[in-house]
Amino acid sequence: MDKATVRDITVRGKRALERVDFNVPQDDSGAITDDTRIRASLPTIQYLLDHGASVVLMSHLGRPKGKVNPKYSLRPVAERLSELLGRPVALAPDCVGPQVEAMAQALKPGEALLLENLRFHPEEEANDPAFARQLAALGEVYVNDAFGTAHRAHASTEGVAHDLPAVAGLLMEKELTFLGSALEQPKRPFVAISGGAKVSDKIAALDRLIDLADALLIGGGMANTFFKAQGLDVGDSLVEDDKLDEARRLMRKAQRAGKRFILPVDVAVGDKFAADAERRLTTPDAVPAGWRILDVGPQTLQAFGEALSDAATIVWNGTLGVAEFPAFALGTNALVQMLVERTEAGAITIVGGGDSAAAVEAAGAADKLTHVSTGGGASLEFLEGRTLPGVAALLDRAQIPADLRTSGGEA
């Protein structure tokens, strides 16, 4: 990776303004139900603190729509982060303004401050230059470790990089390294697995993966559109009728390129879209009237397993069924175990965030795979080959100012 990272600059005595992704799930009481994203940010925060920097952290949480809403306060995050770091992390009353600036400037090396929710201000998502300058005033160097928001050109992800030297954090570096190497120089055979609800969300990624991968395995609701494009009646299953031509085009493209494009050969159907739906196994051409496809079946899993048996690189994005319903999470859970086995056999296994990552976490398999991305939307756009604004804004190593450059990675 050519982008500069925290290891490439001198941070001792500096105030580092760090964008993190603390958009964590919470229950109705506000308690954090999954702190994965907070834990994923710890290596960079700890690196900066250990190397003599003070750290001003900024993040969004939820969708407060540009207004202050206590429901979306980052206070629970500050408390959890303090526990994980083993040191106090104060929560600022806002993310900009004189009081916040005074708190940031008062930080000593080894101390951290968390700003209140960036999206309490509409200027954040509007990438307002004046707002970005207010944020930039809180630091001397900018570190972006929030891959999950790197596909958004917001004030905290792109705007501040115009006012401060900008480098990648360790998590951002890891994301770009694994995703980049998988697409640019994959060990082969390279197998891509694509699931999720809609073809429309994955068209650009599928187009690119047909070019890059040796085989594509298709599951989830999006498979239904391919079934219907082949003339099958899939009952009440989710189908994007306006994408049937695109589905046919993608299948033709894969065939012309000599790539395996593997659709489910059997499916699990339910009589309604609900966790307590009756579950039956059938084939895609024999879905009962009024029923809907909600998962893949065992024959499909066997076919997928055979396709993965010699894979050296595997990239997976999107669940194979309605994984939030236990009866229809069987295919997704079985796939997780296949990936664990392939990882143990030496394959590179990369999970592209979102629901796929949640399924891996739920299975307790995150540390058994090569890399589980923290950014669903960002990883998908990366797979599509798009430029991520939050990444493009970072300095290349050759652009590091002389007064910040470090020769051996020591700050």
> Could you confirm whether 37 is annotated as catalytic?
yes
99 C-beta neighbours (distance < 10 Å), count: 11
Helix or strand run (H / E) with residue 215: strand 215-218
Q: Cβ(246)–Cβ(199) under 8 Å?
A: yes
> Could you confirm whether 354 is annotated as catalytic?
yes
Which residues, at least 6 apart from 246, have a Cβ–Cβ distance to it below 8 Å? 199, 203
Q: Cβ(266)–Cβ(300) under 8 Å?
A: yes
E-state strands within 59-189: 89-91, 112-114, 141-144, 166-168
Tell me which amino acid residue 258 is: G
And the tokens for 8?
A: 């490439």
Of 250, 220, 251, nearest to 237 (Cα)? 220
> Could you confirm whether 377 is annotated as catalytic?
yes
- Token pair 């048996």 is at which residue? 309
User: Is the four-CA dihedral 162, 167, 170, 173 of positive or negative sign?
Assistant: positive
**Which residue among 14, 19, 37, 342 is the active-site one?**
37
> Could you confirm whether 228 is annotated as catalytic?
no
**Which residue among 75, 133, 198, 253 is the active-site one?**
198
273 C-beta neighbours (distance < 10 Å), count: 14
Is there a cis peptide before residue 189, judged by omega within 30 degrees of 0? yes
**Which residue among 62, 66, 110, 377 is the active-site one?**
377
**Which residue among 159, 354, 376, 390 is the active-site one?**
354
Active-site residue set: 37, 198, 354, 377
